[in-house]
Structure 1
Amino acid sequence: LNRWKENYVSSPDEMETLVGSGKAIAILRKMGFRICVVTNQSPIGRGLWGHDVLTQINDKLQELLLEEDQGAEIDLILYSPYAPSDDAWSRKPNPGMLEAGRQIIDNAHRFPGKSNILLFGDDWTDRPSESGSMLVGDRQSDISAAERFGVKGILCDSESGISGVFETILDYVEG
């Protein structure tokens, strides 16, 4: 969705979306898909910046996507603040954020204003079918998380993002 930076996007001013990302998200939303962004954010765990900065960056991401297309609404953004050495269940390539995202999106409309206990790992035995779900990412850890969660993983180029694999997404959906 956004342009890759070697030393992280560290402020809202550095956020740049990839051309076509907003349009691709809007089309998927019109097709009935819910959009959940899952992102590893180790700079938080390493003390480079805090949760508040990431919130500002994510708000800027949403703003820029909506500028491209008013239908490009992100349903949920989840992040793992842990360093790779922490091997946290929420950090990709582990599927923890995907499990949490699925449950939050699936239950949000059923219980507005109420929080529910999230199940994860081996405790989540009553999983819904993920046959129509997919994860689009620009790193192998994204694809590994998708495989471990049981959804289709689509690897995209970091310079073109989701719009660069949009035909592949449509082929999978129509498949």
Structure 2
Amino acid sequence: MSNARGALFLDRDGTINLEREYLSDPAQLELLPGAAEAIAAANRAQTPVIVVTNQSGVARGMFPESRIAEIHSRLDQLLAEAGASIDAYYYCPHHPKSASAVYRVACECRKPRAGMLYAAAAEHAIDLRESLMIGDKPSDLDAGRVAGCQTMLVRTGYGQETERQLPAAVSSLVGRFDSLLPAVQYWLQTRKIRSMAAA
């Protein structure tokens, strides 16, 4: 694990793209302002960008699991137009109350559990202690904390509601930002400063 590096873990809906309840149509995917620029900045810094997203709409019968790949393909297209790219996608299609036995699973991947982050770390040689999880919901922050990552809250999506629910101090939370771009810029800058200080 000596070659492990930190990664940027991102929630999808409400963090990268406009929050739409149970997004099921790739044509409705709309990037939030600055999201592509934020991801491109991480790309330039040679930091892996990994999406971890709960997609219980599958378990609820709202859309087939195959639709997720279609939506991610559309997201890749939109990001590519801005010179940005995602290194890997992880999603959880489960829900403990699903009518389908296939998806009615008490899984380890559904945030706030950290299974998706652990899987990414194993498959991409990621050092979770050097990684950051950004999202707009408590489950995003909890998953990052459980995995040992730093966490940041964005006020897009459900972020403002989440901020009202948070206690004054959260040990893993290193910032609260209006959107993804300033969050990523701050993290990359602080990493650069730490790296220079250690040199």
TM surpasses 0.5: yes
Deviation at 1:164, TM superposition (A): 4.1
Partner Cα distance (2:94, 2:86) in 1: 23
Does 2:18 match 1:3? yes
The gaps in structure 1 that reach 5 residues or longer are: 107-127
Number of residues paired by the alignment?
151
1:42 alignment partner, SS class = coil
Q: Residue 162 of structure 1 aligns with which residue? A: 180
Unpaired stretches in structure 2, ≥5 consecutive residues: 1-15, 98-104, 158-177, 195-199
Take 1:149 and 1:75, find their aligned partners in 2: how far apart are those partners? 19
8 Å contact from structure 1 (residues 37, 74) kept in 2: yes
Superposed CA RMSD: 1.8
Q: Is the aligned partner of 1:93 residue 2:91?
A: no
Question: 1:52 offset after TM fit, Å?
Answer: 1.3
Change (3 A) 1:148 1:53: same
Query: 1:76 maps to which residue?
Result: 88
Match of 1:146 among 144, 147, 150: 144
- SS of 2:128's partner is coil
> 24, 27, 39: which one pairs with 1:13?
27
- Please tell me whether residue 44 in structure 1 is matched to residue 58 in structure 2: yes
The answer to which structure has the higher helix fraction is: 1
Cross-structure match for 1:56 = 70
- Could you tell me the percent identity over the aligned residues? 30
Amino acid of the residue matched to residue 58 of structure 1? H
Q: AA paired with 1:88?
A: C
Question: Equivalent residue for 2:48?
Answer: 34
C-alpha distance after superposition, 1:95-149 (max 9, x if no partner): 000001111222xxxxxxxxxxxxxxxxxxxxx7433211111111000000000
Distance (Å, rounded) in 2 between the aligned partners of 1:76 and 1:167: 21
Change (3 A) 1:166 1:35: closer
Aligned to 1:133: 131
1:13 shift after superposition: 0.7
Show the counterpart of 2:121.
102
- Alpha-carbon deviation of 1:168? 3.2
Residue of structure 1 equivalent to 2:169: none
Contact residue 157 and residue 164 of structure 1 kept, 8 A: no
